[in-house]
Structure 1
Amino acid sequence: MEGYLMPALLLALHILQLFNHINPCTATGKTNTQYIKRSCSVTIYPRLCYHSLSIYAGKIKTDPKILAHTALNVTLAATQESSVIMRRLSEIHGLKPIETAAVLDCMEEIGDAIDELQQSLDELGHVVRGSNFWFQMSDIQTWVSAALTDEDTCMDGFEEHHLRGRVEAVVRRYTVNVAHLTSNALALINSYASSKAALP
């Protein structure tokens, strides 16, 4: 019996060591995702925020600047995708001229939003704590707010002419998604700025 007991004890110790080795990583991963969930609670669309950012938890960890930067990156990518979709829509044969015009107007607004989001990303990458911090953050907040306004304006052409149908539905779906992502990114940027203000 004793001959069997020693290998069993060694095996149990080996398994215990494995669990001790794995647990810190698992705990860290859980801490990172919980941080994102908690941070997303300040946004208007917390579920979208968590869903779009939790896959980057390992990169974000618990860093508010990286969180804001990642949110902007995700928003920019979605906005660029929307621009591609709208370009394809504008080239569909059989569209009414008024529908084509509305899509092209929307594309212009989305193009402006892309430029503003890119400027925000570039500036956030150069932000450092110091005398220029609030000036830089103010610029970033202004650009992201302007992008949000452009996205909201995108649907004006459709609404002005009471256009309904598949084209309008696709444009609305993509526009609403990027507007919600932009709103969330702005909230996380504001939260990052606030976290710096709280430091001595």
Structure 2
Amino acid sequence: MGSCCSSISMAALLILVHFATLLNSSLAVRELLGVQTNTEFIRTSCGTTTDPGLCMTTFSGYASKIQASPKLLASTALSVTLSTTRSNSTVIVKLSKSQGLKPKEIASIRDCLEELKDSTWVSAALTDEDTCMDSFSGKDINGNLKTTVRRQIVKVAHLTSIALAFVNRYAAHP
């Protein structure tokens, strides 16, 4: 009887291990599908924006947080845009302290910094970025300075536009 019971116990243990393995792999598949679904939500949402590439690059890392929630997507977009605006403002402040800047270049940088302060007011921010770049027109502005500032401003403008699209979409379909 001891050999029979141990054989049954061993068989039961093997069956239990087999079911546990199936359960674990099923959970792994569901988790993988959830990540793919979340990423697909981001991809679909980004596809309707003015800069789908930047959008996907920026927000795909937040897919598990956002899941398929338009509200979380809009909130995350605003948060990321604000954070990017702050860090880009820091870059521009450092540029303003560069040696050898012309008075017009310093004035243009100050204009951009003023406009970036308004970037938290999302709908006004798109106009503000244009105003900032207008101050850099003309031949008397260093090309490298103009390019560096433009790169910072364009990214903020694009993220602002994306955030505004997500907020508007959420407002229309809460």
Report the counterpart of residue 161 of structure 2 in structure 1.
183
| Letter paired with 1:76 | L
Question: What is the RMSD computed on CA atoms of the aligned residues?
Answer: 2.0
C-alpha deviation, 1:112, in angstroms: 2.0
**Structure-2 separation of matches of 1:169 and 1:102:** 13
**Structure-2 separation of matches of 1:146 and 1:14:** 56
The structure 1 residue matched to 2:107, chosen from 83, 95, 101, is: 101
Report the counterpart of residue 96 of structure 2 in structure 1.
90
What CA deviation, in whole Å up to 9, does each residue of 1:117-148 have, x standing for no partner? 2xxxxxxxxxxxxxxxxxxxxxxxxx311011
TM-score, scaled to structure 2: 0.85
Contiguous gaps of at least 5 residues in structure 1: 118-142
Report the counterpart of residue 49 of structure 2 in structure 1.
43
Contiguous gaps of at least 5 residues in structure 2: 1-6
Report the counterpart of residue 129 of structure 2 in structure 1.
151
What CA deviation, in whole Å up to 9, does each residue of 1:11-63 have, x standing for no partner? 65443222012111111111111111111122111111111111111111111
What CA deviation, in whole Å up to 9, does each residue of 1:75-96 have, x standing for no partner? 1111111111111111111112
C-alpha deviation, 1:167, in angstroms: 1.1
TM-score, scaled to structure 1: 0.75
Whether the 8 Å contact between 1:102 and 1:158 is mirrored in structure 2 is yes
Query: How many residues were matched structurally?
Result: 165
Q: Which has the larger radius of gyration?
A: 2
Whether the 8 Å contact between 1:42 and 1:188 is mirrored in structure 2 is no
